[in-house]
């Protein structure tokens, strides 16, 4: 890759990550395995209990799960004082 092109890409990456205060490696969406891992569960548990309730983005055959959807699912199922919310 040419030097100016590389600098332009790095500048764009820096602008996107720094302007919103997100860490440099912040991801907007995760694949199924990453989504399951981020929730601390197995892939089969994710597919059975979470996947039917969250929206996904298809990119060819790849399914991506927006982090905000996973956070929404988690918040909706959070317990309050030992009882389901």
Per-residue pLDDT for 1 more than 60?
no
Looking at residue 21, what DSSP letter applies? T
Predicted confidence at residue 19, as pLDDT, reads: 45
Predicted confidence at residue 18, as pLDDT, reads: 46
Predicted confidence at residue 77, as pLDDT, reads: 92
Per-residue pLDDT for 82 more than 80?
no
Bigger pLDDT: 24 vs 45: 45
Bigger pLDDT: 26 vs 33: 33
């Amino acid at each position: 890759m040419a030097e100016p092109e590389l600098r332009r890409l790095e500048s764009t990456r820096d602008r996107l990550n720094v302007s919103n205060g997100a860490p440099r490696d912040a991801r907007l969406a995760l694949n199924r395995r990453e989504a399951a891992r981020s929730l601390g569960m197995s892939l089969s548990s994710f597919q059975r209990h979470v996947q039917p309730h969250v929206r996904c983005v298809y990119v060819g055959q790849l399914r991506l799960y927006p982090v905000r959807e996973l956070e929404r699912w988690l918040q909706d199922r959070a317990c309050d004082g030992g009882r389901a919310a």
